[in-house]
Structure 1
């Protein structure tokens, strides 16, 4: 099965082991990866953006 190019918030939360509320808190503080808002209001994150965001966190830790 090919890897999805766009991830759901649930995918990201599961991968990071965080709650949805934590993700939305990070998003409100501009600390989450950049999101795409779909016409129905759902959020998606490009896999490339997520991987870039994760790599940028390595230097901070």
Structure 2
């Protein structure tokens, strides 16, 4: 599966999970606890994550110690 690299690209939950090497249940657990990246809920109920939001979230997660 190819993960999009364009900043405006919207990623599916499966693409985000694949890139982070986490399970869908972990993604939804983080989402419920508001610990994951910002998400967009589409009118059909699907969830997308902007590439830029994922990158910003990963930057915020960096351990600088």
TM-score (norm: length of structure 1): 0.89
Say which SS state the counterpart of residue 25 (structure 1) adopts. Answer: helix
Gaps of 5+ in 2: none
Over the residues paired in the alignment, what is the CA RMSD in angstroms?
Answer: 1.8
Structure 1 stretches of 4+ moved >6 Å: none
User: Gapped runs of 5+ residues in structure 1?
Assistant: none
Determine which structure has the larger helix proportion and give its number: 1
- Which residue, out of 20, 23, 48, partners 2:24? 20
Aligned residues: 60
Matched, 1:56 2:65: no
Which among 4, 9, 12 is matched to residue 8 of structure 1? Answer: 12
